[in-house]
Every structure is written in structure tokens, then in C-alpha cells.
Amino acid sequence: MYCWGNNRYRQLGLTDKEEEEVGFTENDYFNSQVGVRKVASGGSHTLFLLEDGIVHSCGQNNCGQLGRRSNNSSLDEIYSLEAQLIVDVSCGVNHSVAICNEGNIFSWGEGSQGQLGSGQFPQQSPIPRKISGLSDIRIIQISCGHFHTVALSEDSNVFSWGKNDNGQLGLGKQTPNQASPQLVKFLKGVPLVQVSVGRYVFKPHAISSLREKGVIYISCGDEHTAVLCKEGTVYTFGNGTLGQTHSITLMTDNMLTICRINETLVKTWIDTKPGKPNRQDAKREIIKIFSSPACLTASFLKNRDSSSDPSLPIVDLSFANDIFTELCQHKWIADIICSSLKNELIPATGSLPNLFEALSVFLLFPECPIMHDANLAAELVQAIDNLSLNAKKMLETLWSSLPEPNLKKQIQMFKIALILCVFQKKDSIKHVLEALKQLYRANMKAGYKVPISYFCVPEVSHAIIIPADLNNWRIYQKQSQADGTMDPEIYCRYPYIFTFATKVLYLNTDAMLKKNPSVDKKMYYQYGVLCGLAVFNETVIYLPFPLALFKKLLGKKITLEDLKELQPTMGKSMQCILDTEKDVESLDLHFTLSWENQTVQLIPNGAAQRVTHLNKYDFVNKCLEYIFNTSVTETFEEFKKGFYKVCDKDILLFFQPEELMNVVAGHANYDWSVFEKNTVYTDFITGNDRISVFGLQNTVITVSSFGVPNECYLPEANTCSQLLHLPEYSKKDVLRRKLLLAMENNKGFEKN
């Protein structure tokens, strides 16, 4: 071992040197010892931790920081610790701390600022004493500042005590000095590897620029910090330092880390036998890990570096799913996990800080089969509701980073919780709905990785009292400051959970029309009323409107695909313009459009503006704007006014354009086998060859015997009452021929 520097108080441990300044020198005192595991330096004293757990000290002892009553500054063993197996030591200016293998902390030296953690502020305490405030918590790391101390527990909780004049305890600047250990809540749930303390810091915060650097060790000075990365690069920052230094290496194998799952530990748990001591150890480890958000997250952290994709989750969800699935196959383990999740882990997540590393534990829950229990999922939703607004926004970002299969698991877990809450009438219904809303927004940010239809919860639709829900929604809309604290829950605010049939029921329930509309309304207004009435009366009228009309009704953006439907030839031409990589100018196009027997200028002086490769997208967009908006502004507004006179606009926004088009015009997906099953042979159908949006399963054909003198008569249809009057023909061939003849002449059935 080598040492150098100030030796005024013999703090270098050199027994044969009296000089105050010593150059680079070997300390041969330890040549006969078992080896030095760690050296910690204070203001003017030093601690040496040997491999066998014995601690030696030397240097100034004016406050008892050497752990002995005598004023002897020479290197010697701290005998009051000889009964303990010490695994870590640290020094402040005039105080010292040590951790034993059982996780207990011992402190000695100056305590006037509370840095000894004894609950008091003694001027000095020369004999090491156990800090009773942490006796039930296993500590794995310790670090001292000038006049304060920080400890890391095996479940990744951080405790601090001592001087706090600059907020160095991480408890806020307004908090006074603390004589007993205090939990640093800002770091709760963060999977920590190491703690290191300098002179003072103000508040814990994440250094985003180092997130992808693969940091493995940190060290703090008075006013600067150094971090070591996997590849050996050291970054320094603080007072008077910039950039990075030369490459070095550092062994950290002896550093104790927080509890975490690995494949070896899982195998050890599974192989334990009932009644054996190792079974109890396994239970303790399982409870510890599955009760701590930080330990669980640390178990599945990916190895990240500068080449890692920052948009992907920081936890390995596939590995987590494999581990959870394997563990849950063993009932005794599954029972412990379930109890730990319910009583410890889930409640702890409700107060996690605004850090991605802490909130990543929420990504792990859906990978655990136990969490798909409806009751546990409902409790998790309650915890999410307790998060701060910023934490919820960060959680949305994390959800949006999930691959589609994992995002579907998250959605499904909350859907299960919603079904339970609705049918058991739990108070947490609105919390589940809000959680699903967060997931919906996350999916939207991610470009709809999961289809919107996946959010649908058919079971809930049957339990909603639609008139009451609509009424609550109207009241909510009129509130000047509506927020998410509404009571009771309002399902209208979450239309993505509705089935298509439920959306139609909402539409029909809320449909309205004044009794005496003005006879002076324009034709397009009345046309809109007619279409609205078709929706209101659940009547299919085949009006071959393009999808663009329904997009405009719902305020959706018109695209080139809509032009291809309306005017296929023009749409293809526009597409060719966009697909042309070069020589667009050779087409000799200008910002004009021939439409409805006239040429219009799409921009001022458009006839003089040529279409080029740079402005071709603008040209196509201007064409779409004119065709679908400018050219039909007045007529469309009249149509929309009439349509919304009957149908409530807010309800219609539940629908996608394709869905609304099917409500008005029906579809042509015939299922004759279903139609045949619904036939009642007593009395016919409709006067239309289009099917209601509800399908043939909701259409009843009624056939009635029709007494006529002979077989010359054709079948007759009463389309208003959906009746088919069918003469009694002698043969099937005759029936077929007469029925086809009647259908071919469907402008009016004749009797002869």
C-alpha cells in the first residue's frame, strides 16, 4: 500500500515518519497483515479496513474520531469493534462510521451536527456505538460528507442524517439538522448501485447526460465529482473541471449491492425443501425483493450504453416474464409474491418520485401472472392515481415506449380491473377509467401500436345506464372548471371502451329534433335532417356518400385517399405527381384546378406559379382543400346543420368515420345463413337491399300465406310492415320463378 500528502497528525499511518509532508511512499506496516480492503480518509484521520474485517485508525483524535479514548495518533486497531466483522467504513471531517456484516452501523467521533445518528448532538463520542434507528434495516453501504452521513439499505432505500444547512441531506433546505436517520423520499424506488457524498449537495436529481454511459463507480470531493464508466473512461464535473480524463480501471467486486433476482437465486429458491433453514432464507429474500420497487426494477435492468436505443424500456420485460412465470408455478412462492405485492410493493408505488428509473417498475407488473388478478390490478390503479401529475406524465411516456405485445398486457390488466369494479360497484371505477385514459394517450403518442378496438370492454357496456350517464356528462360539460374528480363516474368521457352497438345506443338516446322545422330551409339542410332521421330511427337509407363526408362531419382530416374514392382518375393523377422523383416541371402544371366546369386559382396568381419538385405536396394539399372544403363550404354547412339538428355532435364524436357511414348507409356483408335462421313463416322484409348496421341477426323476415285463385299471381311485399305475402304455389320451381320475377320488377309488384 502507498500513501502521500499531509502527515501532520500521522494520518498516513507511517510509523517511522515524522515529517508533515510526505512524498509517494510505501506503507510497510501492512506487509504483515492479511491485506487492506478499503482506506477512508477524514479531515485529519484515516481508517484502514482489512480483509478479515478488522479496522485500524490513525491521525488526529481531538473528537474521538479514531475510536479510542487515548490521544495516541499512531496506527492501531479499534479494539471496541473487534467483535464485529466490518465490511465498509467511511470518514467525515471529524467523525467515522462502519458497517458490520449483519448490516448494522457503528459511529464515533464528533456529533455536534447530528452526524453520528444517535438521536442526540454530543460534542464527541470516542467509542463506536450502534445506530439504533436503523437496527431493523440491513445497511450495505455508507458514505460520509463533512458533517453528515448517508446510508444505502439492501432494498435500495437511502437514509441521511447530520448537518443540513445547505440541504445536503436530500430532505429540502428548510429541514434542520437531523440527529437520527431520515428516509430520502426523493430516491424511493430508484434501483441504486452506490452512494457517495461530497461536502454538500442541495437535492438529488438525475444527470440525464450520463444515463447511457454505463457508469459503474462514482466518487465525490468537496466541490467536484468523478464517475467511472464500464469502458474505463472517467468523467469529471464541478468546480474547475471539464470533460474527461485518461482511461483507468477500478475493481468494484467487493461492493455490496441491493437485493435482486437472478437465475441462480431463482434455482436456489425452487430447490429448497419445506422445513429446511434455507427455505426460510428463501422466503426472506422473496419478501425483500417483491416488497421493494427498487429491488424488483434492479433485477431486470438492461445493460445500457451509448449505443442503446433510448426509446426502449430500461427493463428487460421478456426476461422478467420468464422469471415470473417460472416462480408462479410453485404455489408457496406464488403465495409469498401475492402477499408481498398486495401489502408492500403496490402501496409503495403510489409515492414514487418523478424519475424514469423509479417508475419503470410499473412496466413489470403486467409480466407477472399474479398481477392479472382483478383485485390486485384494481389496487395498482389506485396507486397510480396517487402519483404526482408529473409522475403520471412520465409513466405515459414509459407506456408509449412499450412494444405492442407488452402494451396489450398492460391494457388487458386494467380492463380486468374495470370489469371487477363495475360489477362490484367499487369506488375505484373512475380511477381505472383514468388509468385506461392514460394508456389510450400513450398508445396515441406511440402511433396507435395497439388498435383502438382493443380498448373496448363489452362487459361494461351492458352495465351502463345510458340516460343517466348522458345526463351526468351534460352537467360535467357545463361546469366551468371540470376535472377528473367527478362523482359519479362518467363513461361518456371514455368512449373507446364502448362497443359499436353501445355508441349507437348513446346516439339514439340523445337524438333530438324540433317539432316544427322551418319550411324555408335549404334543400341541403333538409337532406342533412333526412340523414339524421335515418340514424335516429335506425333506418338504413343507401345514400352513396363518400367516406370524406363523414370525416368532415367528425372533424377528421381529409387525405388523398378520399380523392381517389371520389374521383379515382384525378386521385391517381395526384398520386403520380407525388411519386414523380424528377422532372415534375415537365408536366407543365400550375397552381390552378379545373373543377365543375371552371378553372380556379389555388393561390393568389396561381396561374403564374409552376408546380415543382419542392412544392408538389403543397399543390396536392391545395387541391384537396379546394375540392373538399372551399368548393362546398355553404352546402356542407347547411347539410351539417340539418344533420346535427337531429343527432348530437358530442355523441357522434364517439364514432370513427367508417362507423358513422355504416350507421347511415348500412353495409353489404350478407350472411344468408343467419338471415335464414331469423325467418318467421307467417307473414317480408324491407324495401331495401342494404343491411342495418346491426346485421342480419337483428332483421326478421316474416312470410304470410296469400290466398289467390291460381298460381298466376306474383308475391306481394308490404315493405312498411316488413311482410311478404306468398301465394301457395304447387312446386318449388314455380315459387322460385315467381319470386325472382317479382324481385326483378321491384319498382312495384303486380298481381298478374
What distances in angstroms separate CA 569 from CA 275, 348, 563, one per listed residue? 81, 62, 9
Dist. CA 195–CA 152, nearest whole Å: 7
CB proximity list for 235: less than 8 A, separation 6 or greater = 210, 213, 226, 227, 229, 243, 244
8 A C-beta contact, residue 529 and residue 513? yes
DSSP category for residue 585: G
- Cell 416474464, located at residue: 321
For the chain, the residue count is 752
SS3 call for 90: strand
Task: Determine if residue 54 is left, alpha or beta; phi over 0 gives left, psi from -120 to 50 gives alpha, anything else beta.
Answer: beta
Pairing outcome for strands 178-183 and 45-50: unpaired
Dist. CA 10–CA 631, nearest whole Å: 93
Grid coordinates belonging to 209 = 447526460
259 in active site: no
Instruction: For 641-652, give the DSSP string.
Output: HHHHHHS-HHHH
Which helix (H) or strand (E) segment is 302 a member of? none
Pairing outcome for strands 224-229 and 215-220: antiparallel
SS3 call for 47: strand
Dist. CA 238–CA 223, nearest whole Å: 6
Task: Determine if residue 35 is left, alpha or beta; phi over 0 gives left, psi from -120 to 50 gives alpha, anything else beta.
Answer: left
Of the residues 3, 63, 328, 720, only one is catalytic, namely 720
- Cell 403543397, located at residue: 618
Which helix (H) or strand (E) segment is 165 a member of? none
Provide the annotated active-site residues. Answer: 720
